[in-house]
Every structure is written in structure tokens, then in C-alpha cells.
Amino acid sequence: MSQREQIPSTAARFVVLWHQVPPSHLGSAGTASGRTAESHYDLMFEVGNSLRTWATPIWPLPIGQPMPATELAPHRRHYLDYEGPISANRGTVQRMAAGRFLALDDLPEAFRVRWETDTEGGVLLFTNGQVTAIMAFPTRAIDT
């Protein structure tokens, strides 16, 4: 499959959620517990029965510029379709992007995916506590 061929509708799903953390939680949780203390974007990829998840401060990601990305504990697949409050007053999540992806590399030291929504797509590389958008492209023609 070339970089520009459409990802099959049967491919695994992903979602990007804006996780707004309430002020009462700021500074109360660290990454050791699988959570982050500040509001962030959760990039979640369906792998088996859970979501491989990273927290990053920005979305969309700038092309070619590594950004901090903290791998979190696996999340429930429930978040692929969920928006709203999170239990135990941990904030709220809002969907920013969703679609399908193909894992190009799924190794402990590197996770590289080709992702696609209805309007855009790209390649992301997660490695060494960072995520880099390697490329981005529109997935359908823009009306002129």
C-alpha cells in the first residue's frame, strides 16, 4: 500500500481526545500512575482489546518537529466512541479526530502508524518519549 492509498474500513480505529483536567487535579497525579496532571490531547490507538495511548500537549502536530509524548497505561476501547465527563472527577474528554490506522511498526521502542480520517491523514512515529508527524496529506479533494 502506498502512502496515499486509502486505509481499509476494516483497519483498527484511533481517536484523538482533548482531555480537560479540572484545576483540583493539577499537580495531583504523575505519569507513574498512568495519568497526566495537566490538560492534554490523548492519542489512542486500538491494539487488541485496549487502546495504546499517549498524552501530548498539542494537536494537530507540526510536521517534522518532535513533540513530547508520554505513553500512558492502556485505556479501555470505550473511549473510541466516548465524549463527556470522566469518573472520579478526572475531567472531561472531547473528540478532536477519529478514524482508521495501520501500524507500520509496533515495537517496544517505536510505534509508527499511518492514520486517516475523512478529511486528512498522515504518519506518526512515537519513540523515546516523543511523537513526530512524519507527513500529512488530505484524504479527499477539496472543493474549489
- How many whole angstroms separate alpha carbon 119 and alpha carbon 142? 9
> Average model confidence (pLDDT) for the chain?
88
- How many whole angstroms separate alpha carbon 143 and alpha carbon 114? 24
Domain boundaries, the chain: 12-138
Structure confidence by residue, pLDDT tens digits, 28-85 = 444 434 556 799 999 999 999 999 999 999 999 999 999 999 999 999 999 999 999 9
Chain Cα centroid distance, residue 1: 22
Burial pattern 18-34, b for ≥16 Cβ within 10 A else e, equals: bbebeeebeeeeeeeee
Closest by CA to 122, choosing from 135, 103, 131, is 135
Class of residue 10 by CB neighbours under 10 A (exposed 0-12, middle 13-18, buried 19+): exposed
Q: How far apart are the first and last CA of the chain?
A: 28
pTM as predicted: 0.86
The reported pLDDT for the residue numbered 101 is: 97
